[in-house]
A and B are shown apart, each in its own frame.
Chain A
Amino acid sequence: DAGITQSPRYKITETGRQVTLMCHQTWSHSYMFWYRQDLGHGLRLIYYSAAADITDKGEVPDGYVVSRSKTENFPLTLESATRSQTSVYFCASRGLSGELFFGEGSRLTVL
């Protein structure tokens, strides 16, 4: 089905472990984004990508790494997870008018 999908939807991990959240879109949108959503902070931009092999930091990039080897995929990696990274993570791609289309989210708990 067309759209934007995230996996896993739920993940529990331990402090210090590496975690990768996957994001896949079928529209061939150039721009893709990763946000985290926390109570009291709304949606905060972690990283974004303008095209394959082009990525840039957002508002809260520390502790995260991204890559974009293919237009349709934009994985987000937590190299050494910390409790403060417990959050809901949303991937999005940008349509032609500028609107963002979001995935269903990945809920990450770091113990």
Chain B
Amino acid sequence: GESVGLHLPTLSVQEGDNSIINCAYSNSASDYFIWYKQESGKGPQFIIDIRSNMDKRQGQRVTVLLNKTVKHLSLQIAATQPGDSAVYFCAVLGGYNKLIFGAGTRLAVHP
């Protein structure tokens, strides 16, 4: 079946550094990818998305990179702040228009 995996369960960074969170997916036919942020006690919150006809998309302090050749997705957060501390999920649109979520990476930002 289709799967979505994350390379690291926890990522620790210093405040002000750039963060990179990685994600791998299995279905080469996937054409829509989303990154979510989940803070403690809250629901996942949409951060940024990208379609397969693009390899890079930028938002405010965030960039998503898509490498379809190796089926890899990454989220880059510039100048990481304490408020960025959360669990980050990648999600891939799978069969029957259902989103398949990765297990999540916990980002810890240290002062």
Interface residues of A (CB under 8 A from B): 31, 33, 35, 40-43, 45, 48, 56, 58, 90, 92, 94, 97-105
Identify 12 new A-B residue pairs, CB closer than 8 A, beyond the known A33-B99, A98-B99: A35-B101, A41-B103, A42-B101, A42-B102, A42-B104, A43-B89, A90-B44, A98-B34, A102-B36, A103-B43, A105-B42, A105-B43
Any chain A CB within 8 A of the CB of B45?
yes
Q: B61 in the interface, Cβ–Cβ < 8 Å? A: no
Secondary structure class of chain A's binding surface, majority of residues: strand
Given A42-B89, A97-B49, are A104 and B97 neighbors across the interface (CB < 8 Å)?
Answer: no
- Given contacts A42-B89, A43-B89, A58-B98, whether A99 and B34 have CB atoms under 8 Å apart is yes
Q: How far is the CA of A45 from the CA of B1 in the complex (A)?
A: 14
A98 in contact with B32 given A42-B89, A42-B103 (CB within 8 Å): yes
Report the bound CA distance from A43 to B34 in whole Å. Answer: 14
B interface, size bucket? 20 to 34
Contact (A104, B101) CB under 8 Å given A99-B34, A99-B49: no
Query: Smallest distance from the beta carbon of A74 to chain B beta carbons, Å?
Result: 15
Binary interface encoding of chain B residues 46-71 relative to chain A, with 1 for a CB under 8 A from any of its CBs, else 0: 10010000000000000000000000
Is B20 located at the chain interface by the 8 A CB criterion? no
Complex Cα spacing A20 to B41, Å: 20
List the A residue with the shortest CB-CB distance to B99. Answer: A100
The 7 closest A-B pairs by CB, nearest first: A102-B43, A43-B101, A42-B103, A102-B44, A104-B43, A99-B46, A98-B32
| Distance of A56 Cα from B98 Cα, bound (Å) | 11
What residues on A are CB-neighbors of B89 within 8 Å?
A: 42-43
Residue on A nearest B6 in the bound complex, by CB: A42
Instruction: List A contacts of B96 (CB < 8 A).
Output: 56
Could you show 16 A-B contacts with beta carbons less than 8 Å apart? A33-B98, A40-B103, A42-B102, A42-B104, A48-B98, A90-B43, A98-B32, A98-B93, A98-B97, A100-B34, A100-B44, A100-B46, A101-B46, A102-B44, A105-B42, A105-B43
